[in-house]
Amino acid sequence: MQLSNKPETEICRTDIPQMLEISDVVQEGKSQKSFFFRRPMECRPGQFIMVWLPGVDEKPMAVSYWRKNEFAFTSQAIGRFTNALDNLKKNDKLGIRGPYGNSFSLKDDACVVAGGIGISSVSTLIGKLKNPLVIYGARSRQHLIYLKRFSGKNMILATDDGSYGRKGFTTGILDEALSSNSKIKVVYTCGPEIMMKKVFDICKLHDIECEASVERMMKCSFGICGACMVNDRIVCADGPVFNASQLSKLSEFGRFARIKTGRKVTLKEYHGLHR
């Protein structure tokens, strides 16, 4: 009898968190910190890891730095889990598994639009792209991070309150840039979904490619529990990066999300319930 009798490699698959020592904590902004680990991480821009703080929670985090033998994620202290992370020091341990998900396509003549802590999901992308235009906005000066890291980049900064850079939203700046700069062929974006939906709409108007990194409540991170579904797409496994043709089929994108119970709510309600 021969029916795949030899064990296939997939059957040995595991996704156990590895307890890793934090090798460094970098204060990136008033409430944002990067947590570094001295471990190699095979990763592509846009992928994420699952971070377990024993006794508290486990959540997805974008890989925001990776170099030879080192990687990091950046967290903004806004909820129970991220506030607990904020108290961690060098040599404390976190359980890490991953990386998970797909990645950005890395095309030339790109523009990157980031909003708020969404910058962490596109930070390694910005490092890989050839001279991209970066449009980066946040609520106020204290919410802007990585400014030194990206000081050599072609970057337009904006704040909602005008405390730094231009006053206004990234989407307005993108519209201007696409109207005046015909060189841009693709827009990569990560940030609040309302912003990304506008970015997607603006790209459609200008007939330019677009890829967005979508965030949803996650449990398994490998595509079996169904917690993070947007229409028929599984964000953790099919995404988190979706291109314009995929996004155009997702009627829930920019409008609805599912909360922990699986109930579909408006994005506004979702963000109020899940911080």
Pairing of strands 166-167, 186-190: unpaired
Contact between 39 and another protein per CB under 8 A: no
Q: Which residues are CB-contacts of 85 (< 8 A; sequence separation ≥ 6)?
A: 33, 35, 51, 53, 75, 77, 94
* 272 touching another protein, by CB under 8 A: no
Give the residue with the Cβ less far from another protein, 16 or 207.
16
- Report if residue 264 touches another protein, rule: CB under 8 A: yes
Compare residues 9 and 180 and give the one whose CB is closer to another protein.
9
The residue within the footprint of another protein, chosen from 30, 40, 108, 225 (CB under 8 A), is 225
Which range of residues in 119-127, 207-215, 217-225, 240-248 is near another protein by CB under 8 A? 217-225
Min dist. Cβ of residue 159 to another protein (A): 33
Distance CA 273, CA 208 (A): 34
Q: Which stretch binds another protein (CB under 8 A): 125-133, 138-146, 192-200, 227-235?
A: 227-235
* Torsion 22-25-30-32 (CA) sign: negative
Q: What angle do CA 259, 265, 269 make, to 5 degrees?
A: 85
Contact 129, 150 (CB under 8 A): no
The structure tokens 């704040």 sit at 159
Binding mask 62-101 for another protein (x = CB under 8 A): -------------------------------x-x-x----
CA distance 229 to 238: 10
Applying CB under 8 A, the residues found at the interface with another protein are 1-5, 10-17, 19, 50, 52, 54-55, 57-59, 93, 95, 97, 219-220, 222-227, 229, 231-232, 234, 258, 260-264
